[in-house]
Chain A
Amino acid sequence: MSYAIEGRTGPWEIVVGLEVHAQAITKSKLFSGAPTAFGAEPNSQVSFVDAAFPGMLPVLNQEAVAQAVRTGLGLNAQINLVSRFDRKNYFYADLPSGYQISQYEHPIVGAGQIEIQLADGTTRQIGVTRLHLEQDAGKSLHDQHPTKSYIDLNRAGVPLMEIVSEPDIRSPEEAGAYVRKLRSILRYLGTCDGNMEEGSLRADVNVSVRKHGEPYRTRCEIKNVNSVRFVMLAIEAEAKRQIEVWEGGGTVEQETRLFDPNRGETRSMRSKEDAHDYRYFPDPDLLPVVLDEAWVAELKAALPELPDAKQARFIGDFGLSPYDAAVLVAERATADYYEAAAAGRDPKQAANWVTGDLFALLNRTGRTIEDSPVSAAALGALLGLIADNTISGKIAKQVFDIMAETGEGPAAIVEARGLRQVTDTSAIDAAVDAVLAANPDKVADYKAGKDKMFGFFVGQVMKAMAGKGNPGLVNAALKARIG
């Protein structure tokens, strides 16, 4: 059932398009040699080019171009061998030159698409209209002084890839899935770190509502939403606001709005009230960007396996469920961890361990998979001990906890703590005898037809053997004695 918001006049469909600004990973800025690192002293990462001093000229960073091309390839998009930079003219305190160098008419990347997966297991294709390169602006601080704003140009000129979607998104869930998938692809490609807290990934969200089957109505743009959750909340809040306006007999005005997460509502941006006229024209300081086809092919050949392909491989080669595969490929580090741990082991068992015990451990300890207390190799070794019957699955949980706590290897733990599984049948037989002897009434019940009692005996035997009895042999021994 497709998503709808129930209004007084019936259900409303929402229409969402996203413009995601992703900071391209580079050492230096898009048009200058100043560094791009996050969190530096104010105005310490600023060249005279970034500050638009008189006579300063832009020179394009090759790596930023490469990152845009890689991203385009990762989105199965058209790479435009000829593109161009335009100036978008407007005055703002953190825009030093009075124009943003962007790509308006001829972006470097054309149409592509992103497949998203929804909770109900369905998938949808969301169209990508384009990707273009542009400069980031500086930062204005409004809370440092009662009557002044302070300007830091460290971010000015940082390379951004603006990735524009088609208005194909129909629910907050789809929007969330889109941003997560895009982020995942960018991180796989190594073209953007996807860090939304530091602003490396921000979304402008275009929202409109309509009755089913109608053409598009007026949309509003919610600027700079900086988490997946906020994207979803902002869409819902804005859609509801628009529905109220329409149903109240009003008209939604096209405008730029801000999402206020504290109040869970969007509000109009006063500073953007001015009717804009960006007066785009080709930047005369720059020439057309002409890409060499062979260079693009080289970049393509060097691309890593992307989440969709990896997921298909995990399903096809390892027999994982689509859900498990999706969870494992969402982050490249997770997928790499999984593949390393699963090498030569039972892949399904490995998946269960990673998505179960390991994720729980990371959650509990607040660690990431990159600095997991249990390495992929150690987890693999543990799986090996289960496979060769050195320990039971149950004991393995215990060993895993000790591994997490001490950092010791599984084999050493098993040896030192005597956790090795007992396969000596005489020891098992002795334990079985003892349990049966101690519970004559229960034996009688069992023989009278209470089949469930069998589990009780298994449990008691295992308990007597401190959990180390080989479960198969324990079962066999019990069967032999009481049938």
Chain B
Amino acid sequence: MSLDPATVRRIARLARIRVEEAQLVPLGHELSGILNWIEQLNEVNIDGVEPLTGAANMALRLRPDVVSDGGDVEGVLANAPDRAGSFYAVPKVVE
């Protein structure tokens, strides 16, 4: 199996990563190499196996409903590449 350029383009688009046209084919080969290697997992019998979703085998702890955070506008915005007053700023989004 080899990922065709259209698939690579679709994946790159989903992941929001710019990939130059010329890179689509080589990147497709590279990713296919990894995916083909992963195919070995098809030989494992997984009938009736419950998936393990995480290594921590316990129930979720719940937090009391207490306000303990927020109120730090400057801290939240200090690293922003573009801001306008107390807002983050991005190129205009058309809905």
Residues of chain A touching chain B, judged by Cβ–Cβ distance below 8 Å, are 26-28, 32-35, 41-49, 51, 59-65, 84, 91, 93, 140-142, 144-153, 258, 269-271, 274, 277, 279, 282, 284, 286-290
Contacts and interface: CB of A to CB of B under 8 A. Distances in A.
A148 B56 CA distance: 43
Contacts of A84: 53
Nearest to A65: B62
Contact of B94 (A42, A49, A270): A270
B42 interface: no
Interface residues of B, number: 38
B95 A142 contact: yes
Interface string B55-80: 01011111111111111110111000
B67 A27 contact: yes
B88 A287 contact: no
A218 B86 CA distance: 43
A93 B93 contact: yes
B9 to A, nearest CB: 12
Most chain A CB inside 10 Å of its own CB: which residue of B13, B56, B77, B92: B92
Contacts of A46: 70, 72-73, 76
Nearest to B93: A149
A287 B56 contact: yes
Nearest to A96: B88
B49 interface: no
Contact of A42 (B59, B66, B85, B95): B85
B84 A144 contact: yes
Contact of A284 (B14, B53, B82, B84): B53
A258 B95 CA distance: 9
B65 A28 contact: yes
A145 B67 contact: no
B67 A35 contact: yes
Contacts of A41: 73, 86
Nearest to A84: B53
A412 to B, nearest CB: 46
A271 B94 CA distance: 6
A284 B88 CA distance: 28
Given A145-B84, A287-B54, 10 more contacts: A28-B65, A35-B67, A43-B76, A43-B86, A44-B71, A63-B65, A150-B88, A151-B90, A152-B86, A152-B87
A46 B72 CA distance: 7
Contacts of A32: 69
Given A43-B87, A44-B86, A287-B56, A145 B92 contact: yes
A84 B62 CA distance: 13
B76 A287 contact: no
B90 A148 contact: yes
A148 B90 CA distance: 6
A35 B73 CA distance: 13
A287 B90 CA distance: 34
A44 B73 contact: yes
Nearest to A93: B90
Contacts of A60: 60-63
B18 interface: no
Given A141-B87, A145-B84, A64 B65 contact: yes
Nearest to B14: A277
B35 interface: no
B53 A282 contact: yes
B18 to A, nearest CB: 13
A148 B92 contact: yes
B91 interface: yes
28 contacts: A28-B66, A28-B67, A33-B66, A33-B70, A34-B67, A42-B85, A43-B77, A47-B69, A47-B70, A48-B69, A49-B69, A51-B76, A60-B60, A60-B63, A62-B63, A93-B93, A145-B92, A146-B92, A148-B84, A148-B89, A149-B89, A150-B87, A150-B88, A151-B88, A271-B93, A271-B95, A289-B60, A290-B60
